[in-house]
Structure 1
Amino acid sequence: MSKYGSVKKAVLAYSGGLDTSIILKWLIEEYGCEVVAFSADLGQGEELDHIPQKAKDTGAVACHILDLREEFVRDFVFPMFRANAIYEGRYFLGTSIARPLIAKAQMEIAAKEGADAVSHGATGKGNDQVRFELGYYHFDPSVKVIAPWREWDLNSRSALEAYAKKHGIPIPTSKKFPWSSDRNLLHISFEGDVLEDPWAEAPEEMYLLTRRPEDAPDQPEYLEIEFEKGDAVAVNGERLSPAALLEKLNAYGYEHGIGRLDLLENRYVGMKSRGVYETPGGTILEEAHRGVEQITMDREVMNLRDSLIPRYAAMVYNGYWFSPEREALQTLIDETQQTVNGVARVKLYKGHCRVVGRKSDTHSLFNPEFATFEADEVYNQADAEGFIKLNALRLRIRSMMNKGKAG
């Protein structure tokens, strides 16, 4: 039996990179188990092309690649965007929201393969270890979780390279870019290398999903995005599936340099970490969603929902997608979205996206007879005097008390 415990078959979340290739071989060597490689297609594109062969060459007994793009946008991105969830007021949670779906699919593969363990390549310093493992335990409380970065002594780049050389794992002779990245349909993230200096500007060659705003077209472009119950369903009158719609918005965002973010964020494990993100389609989607909400949502309902955004966003960031509190909160949020039906017109121009028009044929709360600056017969302006005096009462009493003390 291995010093780490008895495992017959493990399913590894496998990216095809050096780290997870080493993990695949390490699991075989140290646990003496069969390893099944699993990759989720969330919109990485050509990154997945060579994964099956790489996994086989490194010793995997099987490799599964699942196309989860529609499920990702429909069941994870869209519910989160109905909440307008943005972590620490800036981050659209592109990596965070992908992890629970990967964990879900990995556990399905584990059940199909009859595996008794699952493994991932997240480090002991990061958020992903929490996100993956909370997902695993949600689906099987008794599953064996193997997190090599918390177990092995390969604690340096040179140690990893020596292990790879010993076991015949190809080491990239030259890496085009030294930073790490994670990509899906919602975003791409960058960490490490020059970004570990919070004063250093991210190099322009880092960006992949957005062109330099200074190089974007000199003429603005307008989009009309239609929503039903808080979900985007059409762009410029063309109805699209969730994944196809986000892809289309990504293309517009790329062209106009929209969605760049440089953030020093607070990780769940306690440290601050710098990340650079590109979220082109998501930035457009959130702005348009807000526009339709403005004309269709009751003021106090919106205030209540907005007060819950930090809580909801933290749940997603910290890995609690499958928690009862997130599910309960989602029920409330989805109820607030029943009237969010309409169209937002957004203007894209050199890195900026803003709503310039909104309408709803079925749920508009905007009434021009009340809102007009012209003469009307529905609003008695004299009523405002009593309204103001009642709201000023506590301020007047406080002022009188302060004056009495001063006297």
Structure 2
Amino acid sequence: MKKFIIIISMISFTSSLLAQQILFFDDFEGYNDGDSVVNLSNFQGWGANGSGVAVNDPGNGAGGSDQYFSSTDGYMALQIIDSVVPGESYRFSMNGALTGWNQNGIKFQIIQLNGTGNADDSIHVDFTLGSVGAGQQNVFKLIDTLFTTSTYDTGNLAFRITKNWGPSYKIDNFKIECTTCSPPVNPYNVTLKVNTSNITVGSNGMYAGGGFLGGSDALQLTDADGDGTWEGVATLLPGTGPNYYAFFNSPNGDSDWGTKEDLSGQPCGITSNFDDRVLPIITSDTIIQHCFGSCESDGSCPTSQVTENEDIGFSLFPNPSSNNAVVTCIKTINRLELRDIKGKVIFEETNIDKKYTIDLTKYPSNVYFLRVFTDMEVITKKLVIN
């Protein structure tokens, strides 16, 4: 026979996440007949140990239910410990019945627990559910009371049911709820997708991080179908922001900021926050598309050009090269970037007219990507330094 310890339940909440809701409830319907319900009533030094069992008594519980709690020994039946918020109202309710005559009835208390032991505890509510005389045995009566916490109630409250002596008793539908707490705040799921077709992803994979996410490896992304678009889901509470973030190519730990995408000089890079991205206002579950190191928002990346684009008269020669490479374009080049295989900008020049010679001698042999920005478009071309 399986035993259940249910009597002391430590439930912690913060004021921002509390809601008008049931904090604790047990109707004892989930137990097998005779399962032990162990009472830990000596918590904080109060009272003697008591215990009870779940009783399957079809139709004879409170409201015609089938099961209830029945005490078997000791003076205390149930005690629930809950963390509370000052100034909120808490409702306690239960059905109780004595199995025989008792002039003292069932006592209910709400007690502020202060430290260990009971010497400095404070009883806030203390009343008795009437006496039980002839013909009233085994008749369930309702205990229902409302208690508003004060500024002094910053710790735990004990909601306690006792009897002083006499016959055993029954309890059903034991419930504690907060009646004035704020509505629940449900987070939104924000799916971040990043296209990596313009870079070579390192062995550690792709991550989103920084800002509201945390370190450089805060949110691991996956590419389950191998199409080069990596994704992950972040949770965000409504009303928070601004929420900055960025993508990282193969970071080695949570502080590998050198693997961060470079958005400097681009409209989606927030200069006041390390050129990070920033989320729009989120009002529902959302999917946001990105390109690593670029501001495209439709999930695409600038097309890599393997041959010259005849439409704008672009050329890069020689390629491969070990010394210099000459970039020419019939349109004015507003900005030119050279990125390594991780997407990091290692060279940048602006306002260079229609021709520019890049000194490649300072860079090791590898594959790079040259990005050319004109008024009309952005061209990306693979450059091999040998």
TM-score (norm 1): 0.23
Indicate the structure (1 or 2) with the bigger Cα radius of gyration: 2
The structure carrying a bigger strand percent of its residues is 2
TM-score (norm 2): 0.24
| Structure with bigger RCO (C-alpha 8 Å, 6+ apart) | 1
